[in-house]
Structure 1
Amino acid sequence: MNRVRITAWHSFSWAAGILLSLPLLALFFQSLSPDNELFVHLWNTVFTDYLTNSILLLVGVLCFSAFIAIPLAWLNAMCEYPLKRFFSWSLMLPLAMPAYLIAAVYTELLDYAGPIQVWLRQTFGWQSPQDYWFFDIVSLAGAVLMLSLVLFPYLYLILRSFWLEHSYDLIRASRVMQHSPWQSFIRVSLPMARGAIVAALALIGMETLADFATVHLFSVNTLTTAVYDTWIDHSSLGAAAKISCVMLLMIFLLIGAEKVGRRQRAVHDTMAREKKAMYTLTGGFGWLAAGVSMLILLLSFFIPVGVLVYYAVIYAAENWRFDFLSHAWNSFQVATIVSLICIALSVGLVIFQRFFQQKGQQIPGQLASTGYAIPGTVLAIGVLIPLTLLDHQVNHWFGQWFDWQPGLIFSGTVFAITFAYVVRFNAIAVGTLENTLAKVSPSIDMAGRTMKLNRFQLMYKVHFPLLRRGCLTAGLLIFIEAMKELPAALLLRPFDYQTLATYIYQYVSDEQLELSALAALFIVGVGLIPLFVVNRNIEAHGR
């Protein structure tokens, strides 16, 4: 009986891993299809522009994010200055702001018909755009700026945490050698954190390549928009799959850089750590640090939120409608179901890895985590391929047996969105539960064995209770990510079905942000929840 259960466990783990990696495999197989006419045409005409824009966007966001985040992380980890306690946690807030929302807000503010340019023309008597120069927000440079303002906290969080945790002895030694704070930063802190910087920038790069809404709003043609346009406008699954594979190649390069950076982040520290700030900035330097921090925070969070609050109040009647509540309920249902499925799958996969540590038994968990790095548009194409084939086969069978066809029950229903979200976010649950279970000493398992508990009794009586908090954290993170997911929902939603994200984007793309301000504030508010959890953990480790 025990052998049968172990075989079932092996089968479940491998089936889950293969099922969740199916979209990726389908993309590769579909890219080998002989349907090359449209792809060849794109390759010979506009593909170079798509690729060039993607690379320029990637490089621009990485450079500008590093320019913002590295000094802020060092200031908040190493220095004491006015309002530091406030800025140390508040600089994470932009992560809760979807990039397309901040892009829509600044388009409203900085456009030719926006309040800022109108005020300039009225004040200085300018009559036309030829009379003055103003930054064009709807451009590649504008997209770089918008994405950098919401993605720099990834690097800020990782670096701040790293500098809080590592030993201060090297910096103290540099001070003994009469190094200035700037010299200590350049010669000690920055080289020490090189691996952390690489890992964080790789994460920012993946988020940049995955972005669809911002570049689509700004009419910047990237590989992400190419996948979307190829499928929506030309209905060519083969060409979309080929472009997706080019994107995946870039993503895998970034994943490789992240893994290298993660290995380089290992800093062995056996000495006591001093939690006191190493430098105290007083007078003008202190207030300059506070002013720069406040400027970044205003631009990346408080101004966009302020505009949304203003719209929500002024257009309260238009915002509070039944369809808003209906779409919010759709998002809540899907996000809840996806969270529960991911937790159930991940618990089985993680405990399987715990019990069976022979060579190759880690593969199911790795396969089940491949989806998180895949951009939403690419994932949607990967999901459509197997689900469309399955629908055709099911309709063929039902037509033969019952002379009736059920229609697109997989690719044309909420099942497609749910499956795509599970594929994309299951890695969050696997990673969270792996970290939780890794803290449980193997001696606990051995003690259970001495009490004659088999694997299943050990799982129910020991591992499940210990994983409860990890499951809650993972479920919360997945719920929030599923609430905010946009590209996959745009491509996979059934007819006349809206999630909260697609509902907001519909108004944003029609330049009617004010009519979805309340929904946008709801999305931002939900996104704030995990940030406070993360900050509490960082503060706990930093004390």
Structure 2
Amino acid sequence: MKHLRSVGPLWRAASIAIALGVAAPALNLAWLALGGEFQHWLHLAAHVLPDAAWNTALLMAGVGTLVLLIGTACAWVVTAYDFPGRGVLHWALLLPLAMPTYIVAFAYLDLLHPIGPVQGAIRWVLGFDSPRQLRLPDLRSLPGAIALLGLVLYPYVYLTARALFATLPAHLLEAAQSLGETRWGAFRRVALPLTRPALAVGVSLALLETLNDIGASEFLGVQTLTVAIYSTWITRSDLAGAAQLACASLVAVFALIWLERQGRRHQRFGSTRRMAGIQPRRLQGARAWGATVAMSLPVLLGFAAPAAYLAWETAERLLQGSGISEGLVAGLVNTLGLALGVTAATLAAGLAVAWAGRSQGSVANRDHWQARLASMGYALPGTVLAIGLLTPALAADHALADLLGLRSLPLMSTGIVLVVACAIRFLAMPVGGIEAGLARIPPSLEHSARALGETVTGTLRRVHLPLLRPALLSGALLVFVDAMKELPATLLLRPANFETLATLLYAEAARGTYEEGAIAALAIVAAGLLPVVLLSRSSMAAITERSA
């Protein structure tokens, strides 16, 4: 009855169209770059690209090293040792994921300002009266950007490493220790090599987020490739030059993906399902409290301190009677509307791709490429995606306006292009979740429905969709919150006079007015807590199940 798993030509055509639509911006980007004048390349190669590429390379190297050290150390300590607060910290270490990078930069720029609360308190304790007597190093620097981005992005490594450490067979470490290795030596020579694939995945995700960042880098004065792309397009109105810089950014993206694949190419693992996992070793005295303090620092610096600052600034503004401005209310409405539109579009596209690809098991992966290509949008930085999408979107918009006799551009002015850009970027989330959900549904259920005369679409609607509800809900939540936080694509593709919470915060930070921006930032962080809680619960449940 394998023929019953065929989804039909319409679903497959929709899946192919979506996959090609995801690839279209990258292809158009290459076309725009090649179409630029040769003088563009010479000017960029001489004056813009060297500094931007060098800063980007240093930033990524620093962030990659920092997230690897923090994420791996936290994952091992929480897994291998028992200490006060461990039950809270094992999920609290994920909280910085709720804090977008540009919000952390926004908060710390005010917290660590020369006349801000932190430096003011230090001078008060030491008896100094003026910033001239004592001033901490300026946060607006490359080391400052590395530190802040590392404190926000380390959970990508922590999450993947923690999952593998928790299921690591204890007898491997015991064998190493029986041969004379210390506990640290067993970690370094046994546990760490076995988790290299997980570490490669986590570091790659963190570096892709670093490459996509525009707000934090610009706030901190670091001229990265992403910032250079944005300024070349917006400030200099040079689309061809921006496309050429975006191609250089794509080279970095593909290099990251290649390195991640190489890092786990030869890794093979046997089944450890029936082997006992690591039992945490109880720490005592100063070592126990030292572990608690050390594991609390990433949470404190990456989440608690900036979140407390935002809450304080928001409460202060509200208590002063300033209230919430009309612009902020409009930004909240626009943000919710955009996030809902992106979520609906992304779920529909993800369902079409996953449903069309479900028949691949019977014909040697013939549809596998569609899901993989559709998932590649997440690797495209928002600025790169926006530039690649702009030209075909404008061409379609002009054709549609001429056809309907409109003076305005209906796709750009209504935000449809922005919704499409965000849907391309976040399509990987529902595709992966729905594919996993479909794989858990027994084929016999569909066979029974089809044998009773149900159509392909009817089987999806009446059999699969009810069973896919958890995967659809979790995918919708992740997409909704990421769409609320998205800054680069929103800055470049939003309609005129259309502000979201993220763009309002960006504008307030650019003007140096932090009070209004704090309310917008707090709203974004509050929304970001929802998927972090969901991720924490699901990951811990999966770890417990695999360890049992």
Q: Report the TM range for the smaller structure's normalisation.
A: over 0.9
Aligned residues of 1:120 and 1:126 also touching (Cα < 8 A): no
Which sits farther off after the overlay, 7-16 or 241-250? 7-16
Which sits farther off after the overlay, 446-455 or 350-359? 446-455
Aligned residues of 1:195 and 1:264 also touching (Cα < 8 A): no
- What is the CA distance between 1:415 and its match in structure 2? 1.3
Aligned residues of 1:230 and 1:240 also touching (Cα < 8 A): yes
For 1:329, the aligned partner's letter is V
Do the aligned partners of residues 350 and 125 (structure 1) sit closer, same or farther apart at CA in structure 2, a change above 3 Å counting?
A: closer
1: distance between equivalents of 2:524 and 2:438? 31
- What is the CA distance between 1:261 and its match in structure 2? 4.4
1: distance between equivalents of 2:287 and 2:298? 17
1: distance between equivalents of 2:130 and 2:535? 50
For 2:375, the aligned partner's letter is S
- What is the CA distance between 1:34 and its match in structure 2? 3.4
Residue number in structure 1 paired with 2:376: 370
For normalisation by structure 1, the TM-score amounts to 0.93
Fraction of identical pairs, as percent: 33
Aligned residues of 2:28 and 2:388 also touching (Cα < 8 A): yes
Residue number in structure 1 paired with 2:141: 139
1:342 equivalenced with 2:331 (yes/no): no
- What is the CA distance between 1:149 and its match in structure 2? 0.7
- What is the CA distance between 1:151 and its match in structure 2? 0.1
Do the aligned partners of residues 462 and 39 (structure 1) sit closer, same or farther apart at CA in structure 2, a change above 3 Å counting?
A: same
Do the aligned partners of residues 409 and 265 (structure 1) sit closer, same or farther apart at CA in structure 2, a change above 3 Å counting?
A: farther
1: distance between equivalents of 2:7 and 2:145? 53
Do the aligned partners of residues 447 and 503 (structure 1) sit closer, same or farther apart at CA in structure 2, a change above 3 Å counting?
A: same
Equivalent residues in 2 for 1:499-510, closer than 5 Å: 499-510=500-511
Aligned residues of 1:166 and 1:269 also touching (Cα < 8 A): no
Instruction: Say which SS state the counterpart of residue 431 (structure 1) adopts.
Output: helix
Residue number in structure 1 paired with 2:407: 406
- What is the CA distance between 1:218 and its match in structure 2? 1.1
Instruction: Say which SS state the counterpart of residue 173 (structure 1) adopts.
Output: helix
Equivalent residues in 2 for 1:94-243, closer than 5 Å: 94-121=96-123, 123-125=126-128, 129=132, 134-243=136-245
Residue number in structure 1 paired with 2:37: 35
Deviation string for 1:305-359 (max 9, x for gaps)? 1111111111113352232222111111111111111111211211111135535
1: distance between equivalents of 2:337 and 2:501? 11
1: distance between equivalents of 2:470 and 2:352? 16
- What is the CA distance between 1:8 and its match in structure 2? 2.2
For 1:503, the aligned partner's letter is L
1:391 equivalenced with 2:397 (yes/no): yes
Equivalent residues in 2 for 1:310-349, closer than 5 Å: 310-316=312-318, 317-349=321-353
Do the aligned partners of residues 265 and 78 (structure 1) sit closer, same or farther apart at CA in structure 2, a change above 3 Å counting?
A: farther
Residue number in structure 2 paired with 1:467: 468
For 1:322, the aligned partner's letter is E
Equivalent residues in 2 for 1:66-77, closer than 5 Å: 66-77=68-79
2: distance between equivalents of 1:125 and 1:5? 74
- What is the CA distance between 1:17 and its match in structure 2? 1.8
Aligned residues of 1:308 and 1:520 also touching (Cα < 8 A): yes
Instruction: Say which SS state the counterpart of residue 363 (structure 1) adopts.
Output: helix
Instruction: Say which SS state the counterpart of residue 169 (structure 1) adopts.
Output: helix
Deviation string for 1:6-40 (max 9, x for gaps)? 23223222222222322222112111103343342
Do the aligned partners of residues 162 and 318 (structure 1) sit closer, same or farther apart at CA in structure 2, a change above 3 Å counting?
A: farther
Instruction: Say which SS state the counterpart of residue 497 (structure 2) adopts.
Output: coil
For 1:440, the aligned partner's letter is I
Equivalent residues in 2 for 1:511-522, closer than 5 Å: 511-522=512-523
Instruction: Say which SS state the counterpart of residue 468 (structure 2) adopts.
Output: helix
Aligned residues of 2:7 and 2:359 also touching (Cα < 8 A): no
Do the aligned partners of residues 261 and 298 (structure 1) sit closer, same or farther apart at CA in structure 2, a change above 3 Å counting?
A: same
Do the aligned partners of residues 34 and 121 (structure 1) sit closer, same or farther apart at CA in structure 2, a change above 3 Å counting?
A: same
2: distance between equivalents of 1:450 and 1:178? 64
Q: Unpaired segments of 5 or more residues in structure 2?
A: none
1: distance between equivalents of 2:322 and 2:250? 41
1: distance between equivalents of 2:474 and 2:119? 45
- What is the CA distance between 1:277 and its match in structure 2? 2.6
Aligned residues of 1:194 and 1:264 also touching (Cα < 8 A): no
Aligned residues of 1:140 and 1:220 also touching (Cα < 8 A): yes
1: distance between equivalents of 2:341 and 2:504? 20
For 1:184, the aligned partner's letter is A
- What is the CA distance between 1:304 and its match in structure 2? 0.8
Residue number in structure 2 paired with 1:25: 27
Instruction: Say which SS state the counterpart of residue 13 (structure 1) adopts.
Output: helix
2: distance between equivalents of 1:218 and 1:526? 25
- What is the CA distance between 1:77 and its match in structure 2? 1.3
Deviation string for 1:46-102 (max 9, x for gaps)? 310000000000000001111211111001111111110011010100110111111
Aligned residues of 1:335 and 1:479 also touching (Cα < 8 A): yes
- What is the CA distance between 1:530 and its match in structure 2? 1.1
1:59 equivalenced with 2:61 (yes/no): yes
2: distance between equivalents of 1:530 and 1:342? 17
1: distance between equivalents of 2:329 and 2:83? 44
Equivalent residues in 2 for 1:263-302, closer than 5 Å: 267-274=269-276, 277-302=279-304
Deviation string for 1:373-413 (max 9, x for gaps)? 11111111112121122233445x44xxx8x5522222343
2: distance between equivalents of 1:104 and 1:471? 33
- What is the CA distance between 1:282 and its match in structure 2? 1.4
Please point out which of 346, 363, 367 is paired with 1:361: 367
Equivalent residues in 2 for 1:442-481, closer than 5 Å: 442-448=443-449, 451=452, 453-481=454-482
Do the aligned partners of residues 127 and 457 (structure 1) sit closer, same or farther apart at CA in structure 2, a change above 3 Å counting?
A: closer
Aligned residues of 1:231 and 1:240 also touching (Cα < 8 A): yes
1: distance between equivalents of 2:399 and 2:45? 33
1: distance between equivalents of 2:253 and 2:129? 46
For 1:139, the aligned partner's letter is S
Aligned residues of 2:167 and 2:278 also touching (Cα < 8 A): no
For normalisation by structure 2, the TM-score amounts to 0.92
- What is the CA distance between 1:451 and its match in structure 2? 4.9
1: distance between equivalents of 2:514 and 2:538? 35
2: distance between equivalents of 1:61 and 1:295? 17
2: distance between equivalents of 1:91 and 1:264? 30
Between the two proteins, the alignment pairs up a number of residues equal to 535
2: distance between equivalents of 1:360 and 1:461? 26
